[in-house]
Amino acid sequence: MLCSRALVSLALAVLPLVVSQDSLPSSWPHDYPGKPSGDFSPSWQNYFRVTDPLPNVTFPLGRSYAGNLPVNRGSPNNTLFFWGFEKTAGSLTSTSSRRRDEPWAIWLNGGPGSSSFYGFFFENGPISLGPDWRPSSNQYSWDKLADYFWIDQPVGVGHATATSDGYVADEDQIGRDFMQFLSNLVKVFPSLKTRPLHLTGESYAGTYIPYILKAYFQMSDPPVKIQNIVIGDGTLTSGVVWNLLPTMQVIETFPQLIGYDPVVYKYFKEQSHLCGYDLNLTYPEDGVLPDIPLRQPRDRDIPFLAAARFHTRGLTLTQTLQKRYEESEVKGLHRRDRDLRRELWKRDLSDRVNGTIDPWYGCFLWDMAMDYALNFTYPWNEVQYLDVYDLADVVFPPVEKDASVFLNDPATRKALHAPTSKDWVLNIPHTFGGVGTIDPSPVPITFLTELATNATAKNVGIILYSGNNDFLIPRLGTEIAIQNTTFGGIQGFTKKPSTRWNDDTGKFAGIIHQERGWKYALFYGTGHLVPSAVPRAAYRFVRDFVLGNDPLGSVVQLPGGQSMVVGGQDPSLQGKALQAAPDLYLGEGATQSTYIAPAATRAAWSSFIATETATATRAPSPPRSASSTTKRHHRALRTEAPTP
């Protein structure tokens, strides 16, 4: 058994605390000079246009518009907030019919309850903020590809406002609110009503976006024309499936996590089997994949509901890991002592009854893997920190990514027509009307086939992507969602995604696959926050596979019932796991060095895994930099979850 500590890695170790609506904050938009009267119309464009200078922004920005728009529910103070950028001058305000086919797009972060301006400033927006809050230009901003809007939602999140009784009750209300917001947005920018919309987002937006699309399909006359939905590292399934079940695949992807130890690997493999986590996906699937119940540990009670574990954000992940660190018995152990404890832990395995679920962890294998790394695996056991968003990033303390100084600056507020009744914060804990109140809505997988059927009928594409280094929402959960959904009359993909794609420099970017209106991409060398870590690859992906029609990875039907894949299928990419590069990035506040396990250790692992399983084939790694101090995009643990 690992050292005793609270199992609070994803949630409060208490049942959610619900408070009355009367204690929830109220906020409202600010009326700035020049506000028009009457209903929304193009006459509001000048009011929303961002014309005042932004603090320390000395580089050119495209024309943009920002402000609050109501969701037409209850009080007019229940609003969402937008900041939209034109790709070219006049592309948002033009009434020319020549622009009717030009795409526009929306970005949503997750949480639940997290502001989309995390994505704006630290992922894919035109302004990047450094750790000193100094802005710089992002050459890979997605507004260079289309008119792009970053939207704070649901009501009350970020610069969105809400009355104390106006917070959303569930995801269906989020979907309806979003459609009503769009109905007001297109009154201000009429061309958006008929232009193709690409609705994009990540993490818990994997719950938001399916419900928004559901609301869209329920309308006889929707306010916009959705062409694609795009979800990165999304929460499409139950928490067991998107977080716990993939643990074994994560270990095969990132054997550094267990120090390349075959004994530890075999124990996790046995536990994964006993928990029913060792699903084998087939292409196409021949039946609905079974539900996976969560099995609790025998030797202790985990005092919170499984549902609360995956949705309550009472603690930030940073605070959670700090709590684990403070409670850890190994905090004061020397490295030599930790090595001894690791051997004792492994020896203890031999005394356990084979074929029994671990009595301390139950089927919380994700937590067991994290605990093992923080106790026994260098460098995580030295820094007592593990970035669940990107396992390769061991920079500690992490780079601070905070947009509050910039967004709460009075000059910024005025320029963006932002509320003065509240301060912008990254995350709120009362998205669903009470502090700690969890999202009561069914997970999207429960209606994904129905959604896919409507999408096929109405020619709406569905695009999913994952980061290979993501520990919080690993790729397997997304792949299970795909193979458990029927679209185009067939369940799942008919061929396993295994076509390699590159960024614009020719560097290996990952895997791409396309079938029957669905697309899936795996990004190599990044975790949860894909546009932040591999901006060049993300830019190419949006340009060519979201907005464009690059056929790479497409399944093409041939005469005689045969089919082929454009770009071919790479056998080295067909395993269950794509082993990550061996590099771990170290430093304090910035990457200062890399750590790679000894060559003999890695060679022994390669020999072991080749005989242990034929499904963890290692793909050729892209070349590493010769410098061990090369700067790298880093991701800090944030208050959002499961993302931003």
Q: What is the pLDDT of residues 305-339, one digit of tens each?
A: 333 343 333 233 333 433 333 444 444 445 556 56
Spatial neighbors of 81 by CB under 8 A, at least 6 apart, are 66, 67, 68, 151, 152, 158, 159, 160, 161, 418, 419
CA distances from 457 to 211, 226, 443, 483 (A): 18, 13, 23, 20
What's the domain range around 541? 48-239+406-572
The residues, any chain, with a CB within 8 Å of residue 245's CB and separated by 6 or more, are: 275, 277, 279, 292, 476, 477, 480
pLDDT at 488: 95
CA distances from 324 to 327, 360, 390 (A): 5, 16, 19
Three-state secondary structure call for residue 264? helix
| Confidence class for position 293, pLDDT limits 50, 70, 90 | confident
Gap between the Cα atoms of 126 and 401, Å rounded: 16
pLDDT in tens, 156-190: 999 999 999 999 999 999 999 999 999 999 999 99
| Identity of the residue numbered 491 | Q
In a domain, 619, yes or no: no
Inside any domain, residue 548: yes
Number of folded domains that form the chain: 1
Choose among 466, 445, 419, 403: nearest CA to 636.
403
Q: What angle do CA 220, 223, 225 make, to 5 degrees?
A: 90
190: phi then psi, degrees, rounded to nearest 5: -60, -30
Residue 616 banded pLDDT, cuts 50, 70, 90: very low
Task: Say what the pLDDT of residue 341 is.
Answer: 62
In a domain, 386, yes or no: no
Nearest to 235 by CA among 208, 272, 198: 208
Longest dimension (CA), the chain: 77
CATH number for 175:
3.40.50.1820
Q: Is residue 440 part of a domain?
A: yes
The pLDDT tens digits of the residues spanning 449-464 come to 999 999 999 999 999 9
Which pLDDT tens digit goes with each residue over 484-530?
999 999 999 999 999 999 999 999 999 999 999 999 999 999 999 99
Tell me which residue of 632, 623, 631 sits closest to 508, measured CA to CA. 623
CA–CA separation, 235 and 108 (whole Å):
13
Burial of residue 158 (number of CB atoms within 10 Å: 0-12, 13-18, 19+) = buried
In a domain, 192, yes or no: yes
Q: Output the DSSP codes for 191-220.
A: GGGTSEEEEEEETTHHHHHHHHHHHHHT-S
CB 580 within 8 A of CB 541: no
This prediction has a pTM of 0.89
Among 16-20, 119-123, 366-370, top mean pLDDT goes to 119-123
> Of the ranges 30-44, 289-303, 309-323, 531-545, which one carries the lowest mean pLDDT score?
309-323
Q: Note whether residue 345 is domain-resident.
A: no
Average pLDDT, the chain: 87
Q: Are strands 225-232 and 64-70 parallel, antiparallel or unpaired?
A: unpaired
Within-domain flag for 185: yes
| pLDDT (tens digit per residue) in 200-238 | 999 999 999 999 999 999 999 999 999 999 999 999 999
Query: Does any domain span residue 485?
Result: yes
Q: Which tokens hold the place of 35?
A: 């506000």
Q: Which of these, 598, 584, 596, 597, lies nearest to 632 by C-alpha position?
A: 584
| pLDDT top residue among 626 and 433 | 433
Each residue of 43-76: pLDDT tens digit? 999 999 999 999 999 999 999 999 999 999 999 9
C-alpha 300, offset from chain centre: 31
